Amino acid sequence: MTEKNFIVPASEFNTQIAGSVNAKSPSNIALVKYWGKTSPQIPTNPSISYTLTQSFTETQLNFAPKKAEFSNISVRLNGEEQPNFVPKIQQFFDRIHAYAPYLQDFDFEIITSNSFPHSSGIASSASGMSALAKCLLLLEEKMLFFVENPLQRASFMARLGSGSACRSLYPGLVAWGKSSFLPQSSDLFAVPVDTKIHPIFTQFEDTILLIHEGSKSVSSTVGHQLMNGHPYAAKRFDEAKQNIGKLLEILQNGDLESFGNLCEHEALSLHAVMLMSKPPYILMMPNTIAVINKIWEFRKETNLPLFFTLDAGANIHLLYPTNEKEKIRDYIEKELLTYCQNGKAIYDFVNFENL
Ligand code: PMV
C-alpha cells in the first residue's frame, strides 16, 4: 500500500448533503514508544500499544454544504465553544485534503467530549483524532463512498492528525511503523498485532496516576522535532526497532518480568532523550520519580508484577495483570494515590473486544 492508494478524486463524492455522524474512540498507551518523525507523519521507529477502554472521546460531526467561499469549522468540547481547537482541525483537514477532497465543500460543527477530565494531563489527541477520522469514514458512507478496508483508511487519516491516533482504531495490541518483525506493518497506518498472545497479556490493567494535571511545558510536536539532529537519536531508533522483536517474543511466551523490564526501559529511554535534547527539558515531576522508586521497592518486597510506563508527561501508567488486581489495587490506594495532584487516578484496562 502506498499513499496513492488512499487518494480519491473529488468527483466520487456527492457533497450536497447535510446531516450528522457520531463515533467513539479510545486512547492507547504505547509499550514501545514512537518518538521522532519525518514528514508527513512518518514515524522514525515502529511502536506497539495497548488500546484502552475507559479513556475515550465521543464526537458528533454535523455537516452541511458550505455557505461561503471557505468552509467554516466550529468545535465544542464538553459543551463549550473552543475556537483555539480550530487551527489544529484545519491543519488536519489540510493534511488529508488529497484523500478527502470533499472537506472543502462542507461547513462542519464538531461536538466532542472526553471521558477523562480535559485538564488531567492525559493526551486527548489519540482518542480525539481517531474519533474524528471515524466520523469522516461515516460521512463518506453517507456520500455512498465505500472502501474495502474502512478501518485501515480511518487509521491512515487519523495518523495525519496525530501519529499515535492511528493505533486507536483497533482493539488489543496494535503496531504502527514498518517493522521487520511484523510483515503486514506499515508507516502509513496501524495494524493489529496478529501473533499469538499469551493469556496473561490479554487481561491487563492500566491505572493512570494523575501526578500532574494541566498542560505540559513542552508539547509532543516540539518533542518530536527535537529528535531531528539529536546526538542519541540513531541509537534510540535502533533500540526501539529491536524492542519490537523482543516485545513480540515476550507477548507470546508470557514472561511478565521481561515485559516489565522492557516497558520501563522504553519509558525511561523516552524521558532520557528529552533530558539529552538541545535544549533539554524534563516532563517528569518529583512525584513521578517518587512513585517509580515506590514501585521498585514494592516489587522487591512482594514480588508482585506491578510495572510502569510513561507518556510524554508526568503521569504514571501502572501496568499489571488483571489476575493480581486485588492486591495491587489495595497498594495503589493506600500508598500511591497520595502522590497524585488531586489524589486521583483513572482505573483503565486493556480492551481486546471489537471497538
Ligand atoms: O502522537 P503524538 O504526536 O502525540 O506522540 C505520541 C508520543 C508518545 O505518546 C510519547 C509515544 C507513543 O507512541 O504514543
Among 41, 57, 125, 164, residue to substitute to test ligand 1 (most atoms within 8 Å of Cβ): 164
Distance of alpha carbon 57 from alpha carbon 78, whole angstroms: 10
For residue 35, give the ligand 1 atom closest to its CA. Answer: 7
- Residue 149 CA to ligand 1 center (angstroms) comes to 25
- Tens of pLDDT, residues 176-185: 999 999 999 9
Q: Specify the residue with its C-alpha closest to ligand 1, atom 9.
A: 311
Say if ligand 1 is within 6 A of residue 50 CB: no
User: How confident is the model at residue 115, as a pLDDT?
Assistant: 94
Q: Is residue 34 a contact partner of residue 269, using CB atoms and an 8 Å limit?
A: no
Is pLDDT at 138 greater than 70 in this prediction?
yes
pLDDT beyond 70 at 251:
yes
> For 2-6, 63-67, 122-126, 136-140, which range has the lowest pLDDT when averaged over its residues?
122-126
Buried b (16+ CB within 10 A) or exposed e, 230-269: beebeebbebbbebbebbbebbeeebbeebbebbbbbbeb
Check if 106 has its Cβ closer than 6 Å to any atom of ligand 1.
Answer: no
Residue 321 confidence (pLDDT) = 98
Q: Which residues contact 123 (CB under 8 A, 6 or more apart)?
A: 27, 164, 220, 311, 312, 313
Cell numbers describing residue 19: 446531516
Q: What is the pLDDT of residues 12-23, one digit of tens each?
A: 999 999 999 999
Q: Which residue has the higher pLDDT, 335 or 116?
A: 335
Answer whether residue 122 shows pLDDT above 80: no
Say if CB 178 and CB 46 are below 8 A apart: yes
Query: Which of 285, 300, 302 has its CA nearest to residue 339?
Result: 285
- The DSSP H or E segment spanning 267 is helix 256-275
Closest atom of ligand 1 to 176 CA is 13
Q: What's the pLDDT score for residue 119?
A: 66
* Confidence category of residue 355, pLDDT binned at 50, 70, 90: confident
Q: What is the pLDDT of residues 142-192, one digit of tens each?
A: 999 999 999 999 999 999 999 999 999 999 999 999 999 999 999 999 999
**Distance (Å) from CA 223 to ligand 1 centroid:** 10
Q: At what angle do helices 150-161 and 86-95 cross, to 10 degrees?
A: 130
Question: For 112-128, what is the mean pLDDT?
Answer: 84
* 3-class secondary-structure state, position 48: strand
Pocket mutation for ligand 1, best pick of 220, 271, 284 (most atoms within 8 Å of C-beta):
220
Work out the percent of the chain whose per-residue pLDDT is above 70.
99
For the segment 55-80, the average pLDDT, to the nearest whole number, is: 94
SS3 at position 219:
coil
Side-chain half-sphere exposure of 300, counting CA atoms within 13 A: 6
Atom index in ligand 1 nearest the CA of residue 28 equals 14
Res. 28: pLDDT tops 90 = yes
Give 353 Cα–ligand 1 centroid separation in angstroms.
23
Q: Is the CB of 163 under 6 A from ligand 1?
A: yes
pLDDT at 200 over 90: yes
Distance (Å, whole) CA 211 – CA 295: 15
pLDDT band at 43 (very low <50, low <70, confident <90, very high): very high
What is the tens place of the pLDDT at every residue in 294-340? 999 999 999 999 999 999 999 999 999 999 999 999 999 999 999 99
Residue 210 has which C-alpha cell? Answer: 494523575
Q: Is the dihedral of CA 137, 141, 144, 147 positive or negative?
A: positive
Q: Is the pLDDT of residue 217 over 90?
A: no
Q: Which atom of ligand 1 is nearest the CA belonging to 163?
A: 1
> From the CA of 349, how far away is ligand 1's center (Å)?
19
Cα of 32 from ligand 1 centre, angstroms? 10
Q: What is the pTM of this model?
A: 0.96
Residue 253 has pLDDT above 80, yes or no: yes
The CA distance from 19 to 106, in Å, is: 11
Query: Which residue has a Cα nearest atom 6 of ligand 1?
Result: 164
Read off the pLDDT band of 121 (50, 70, 90). Answer: low
Quick check: 272 pLDDT over 70?
yes
Evaluate: CB of 312 within 6 angstroms of ligand 1: yes
Q: What is the pLDDT of residue 216?
A: 79
> Is any atom of ligand 1 closer than 6 Å to the C-beta of 120?
no
* Residue 249 in this model has a pLDDT that exceeds 70: yes
Amino acid sitting at position 249: E
Q: Please give the Cα distance from 33 to 167 (Å, whole number).
A: 12
Supply the residue whose CA is at minimum distance from atom 4 of ligand 1.
220
